[in-house]
Homo-oligomer: A and B are copies of this chain.
Amino acid sequence: MINVVKIGGNVIDNPESLERFLKDFASLKGKKILVHGGGKEATRMSEGMGIKARMIDGRRVTDRQTLDIVTMVYAGLINKRIVAMLQEYGCDAVGLTGADGNVIPAVRRNPVPVDYGHVGDIDESKVSDKFIGDLLNGGHVPVFCAICHDGKGGLLNCNADSVAGAVALGASRVESARLIYCFEKPGVMTDVNDENSVIPLVTSESFQILKESGIVDKGMIPKIQNALLAASKGVAEVRICNAEALCGEGGTIVRER
Indicate which residue in B76, B100, B138 contacts A94 across the interface (CB closer than 8 Å).
Answer: B100
A153-B88 in contact (CB<8A) = yes
B75-A68 in contact (CB<8A) = no
B77-A72 in contact (CB<8A) = yes
**Residue A36 lies at the interface, judged by CB distance under 8 Å to chain B:** no
A contact patch SS = helix
- Report copies per complex: 2
Chain B contacts for A183, CB-based, 8 A: none
A49–B69 Cα distance when bound, in Å, is 13
B100-A93 in contact (CB<8A) = yes
Indicate which residue in B48, B83, B95, B97 contacts A83 across the interface (CB closer than 8 Å).
Answer: B97
A224 CB → nearest B CB, Å:
31
Interface hit among A144-152, A235-243, A246-254: A144-152
A147-B80 in contact (CB<8A) = yes
**Residue A87 lies at the interface, judged by CB distance under 8 Å to chain B:** yes
B147-A138 in contact (CB<8A) = no
Closest residue of chain B to A48 (Cβ to Cβ) is: B49
A80–B68 Cα distance when bound, in Å, is 10
Chain B contacts for A94, CB-based, 8 A: 96, 100-101
A155-B84 in contact (CB<8A) = yes
Chain B contacts for A71, CB-based, 8 A: 76-77, 80-81
**Residue A74 lies at the interface, judged by CB distance under 8 Å to chain B:** yes
Chain B contacts for A200, CB-based, 8 A: none
Per-residue contact bits, chain A 132-149, to B (CB 8 Å; 1 contact, 0 not): 001000101000000101
**Residue A102 lies at the interface, judged by CB distance under 8 Å to chain B:** yes
Chain B contacts for A154, CB-based, 8 A: 84
**Residue A92 lies at the interface, judged by CB distance under 8 Å to chain B:** yes
**Residue A167 lies at the interface, judged by CB distance under 8 Å to chain B:** no
Indicate which residue in B49, B102, B155 contacts A81 across the interface (CB closer than 8 Å).
Answer: B155
Chain B contacts for A97, CB-based, 8 A: 80, 83, 95
**Residue A85 lies at the interface, judged by CB distance under 8 Å to chain B:** yes
List A residues at the B interface (Cβ < 8 Å). Answer: 48-49, 68, 71-77, 79-81, 83-85, 87-88, 92-97, 99-102, 131, 134, 138, 140, 147, 149, 151-155
